[in-house]
Chain A
């Protein structure tokens, strides 16, 4: 018996079932995200890690305490929930008064640490969790055979989603939660302990993630990274469903799982990207998501300043001059390839900072531009035989074009939404890179010849390559600097400070944001293209979302919205990475810890703190008097 499209019915239903199972997990995880987001306005990046923790809890409980599946189903959410409650009190609560982006960054750091620790302890091979005996069989439904456990997952997820819905819509706690989502201060003024409700909400969200993890343990390998890529898909699901909408999260979760299953049947190549494509379409038609309330002017971010903006100072020029001299001399003292790596990343971070620091848009998808350009440059040079400068131009041009497409979609939303959308778009590009024939898939493009600059100067000599890279860096860096100081840059800063006001002054802010986005993408591409020549390769690492996280870390560590911050941050992170690689501790743990420290207590970054210290003397009251005196004496002379 065949379906009209000649696909065996069994296979068709089989894929549909897999889709439904995946959809169950999407629904459960996006539900947890929506619950947390609704109350705390935090995008919980650690949700995937908490899902993984749940699965590991089950596995550890079985191994060390011989606790069965049902015990794990009960205990794991409680344990992970308690951990979540602790995390909320210690780390998240102090961040509520700041821009919501900090919550996202903090949970990202936490997820790096948790995943890093479990990788360190258990490796990435994956453990298997036995199927509970009750569910070991299968039942023949006539049109297909349904393994019992998979049936249970679907039933359980529906039960859990309904119970959560009932908790929110039908209980007193839910009423507090809904009311506090609208106006937490007023609810607290009634005598309700709102901070505790926030803690409980986060614990419930974390517990839901852990519960999904236990459900997943018997069907997927229990692996430290099991939650990580799932997370990005779930972000896209949440954007599609409409952020903060419980119903939207659940419906979109199941629907997209099914859609993914159907895609596997009819056009398997697109199955890993269909969710992201759907997200792009939904954003075009209904930017608020299918079930989201229309928020023409999202309250958050537009009103907050991400950081204190530190402008050009008197000492900046000498510092820059010293910097150039140091750069000229550097290859004589330091291993040139390390300096070139720093320069590539510094340029990447400067490009990212143009968007984040000066427009206030946190892109979590800049790796697509960096890595994408890297691929194009490597390909054009190796396969088409073009000269290095043309290859780099091609890479940067590609990144700019990609920037137009991504930017056009992403600037429809602000703040955390923007971050999630860019992340999802970049992940779509990542999957494209995995599958596209010219990228070499897992192997990447290797042995890219450096060639001769303008067909004349060989870049195989260390010094000529170094000065070439340095010239590109300086060009890019000065370009960013000029943009920031131009009238265009002032409008960007105005948009960042208060978008509504900029609109009311008659600026078409979307054009400016898109312009900044494309420039940022182009410069990021320039950096990635240059890196392809320096390392003679282009790989998946450069397009992965961890790369996007890394550039955020560099900028955050160096100082958001400062000119030199990204350079300092890039230098430090590159140095740290080469140092950490010799240690027994995995890099993500260190990076995650730095992330957490930066977000919690070091938000100005190195350059930000330094310039604040250098700025101090001007606040000394004596200076003002002295200055006033000078003006006066000048006046009498004239």
Chain B
């Protein structure tokens, strides 16, 4: 793992209408690492991802990707700067079939997954490529949502609750996929409620509470932190 800084978030505030949701978030992600944002419901984890992308538009502070400030860029240019975003609700389009869903996002960088690589990672998608997008099971939808972003060739992923509502066996499948992406050099920011999942893939953790980052630690320090985490997060 290099120490090269990929993403830097400084004093990020974000609003939903008039109500402040992020109260000055600071964190950074190095190239090649998997960082997990953990915290209770409503702590601002998903909002942080949305604010980085610019889906939540009303924000202040600095978000720098490889030194380029993303605040102020239109949403599609944020994506073009090299970020892949997988939303919590997966966002599979019902009027498109599986194959169209997969092919929808445009190529952004070279080295994106080929169809063959995608089908190797998620064999289910090959079988179901002609089904309507929303006819898939929750797990298949999640695989499709991740797979279509891999096609774009971005090296930096924002994953919002990829295991939400999935059966344990599917959680393992997603976990295996995330680990293999990690191995291939992908940088990942993972928002996760399922702490057992996050601890198996993350290199570092940031703990969020009330729209702020309140703590951070590396995976190695996890065991000594468990007590504290039990208390603050009721894990």
Contact = CB atoms under 8 A, between A and B. Distances in A.
A185 B100 contact: no
B53 A191 contact: no
A190 interface: yes
A182 B76 contact: no
A176 B85 CA distance: 17
Contacts of A195: 74
Given A185-B55, A191-B106, A178 B76 contact: no
Nearest to A176: B104
B93 interface: yes
A23 B79 CA distance: 44
A187 interface: yes
B152 interface: yes
Contact of A188 (B75, B93, B96): B75
A195 B77 CA distance: 12
B75 A182 contact: no
B75 A189 contact: yes
Most chain A CB within a 10 A radius of its CB, from B94, B104, B148: B104
A186 interface: yes
B95 A182 contact: yes
Contacts of A190: 76, 79, 104-106, 148-149, 152
Interface in B71-102: 74-80, 85, 87, 91, 93-96, 100
Nearest to A178: B95
Contacts of A192: 76, 105-106
Contacts of A181: 95
B103 interface: yes
A481 to B, nearest CB: 31
Given A189-B55, A189-B85, A194 B76 contact: yes
B108 interface: yes
Nearest to B107: A191
A183 B93 contact: yes
Give the size category of A's interface with B.
Answer: 10 to 19
A9 B53 CA distance: 66
Interface residues of B, number: 25
A191 B95 CA distance: 20
Contacts of B105: 190-192
Q: Is the interface of A mostly helix, strand, loop or mixed?
A: helix
Contact of A178 (B74, B87, B96): B96
Interface in A521-558: none
Nearest to A97: B57
Given A189-B85, A191-B106, A179 B75 contact: no
B108 A191 contact: yes
A352 to B, nearest CB: 30
Contacts of A320: none
Contacts of A615: none
Interface of B: 53, 55, 74-80, 85, 87, 91, 93-96, 100, 103-106, 108, 148-149, 152
Given A175-B96, A190-B106, 17 more contacts: A178-B96, A179-B96, A179-B104, A182-B93, A182-B94, A185-B55, A185-B75, A187-B104, A188-B79, A189-B78, A190-B79, A191-B76, A191-B79, A191-B105, A191-B152, A192-B105, A194-B76
17 contacts: A172-B103, A175-B103, A175-B104, A178-B96, A181-B95, A183-B91, A183-B93, A185-B55, A188-B75, A189-B85, A189-B87, A190-B76, A190-B105, A190-B148, A191-B106, A193-B76, A194-B75
Interface of A: 172, 175-176, 178-179, 181-183, 185-195
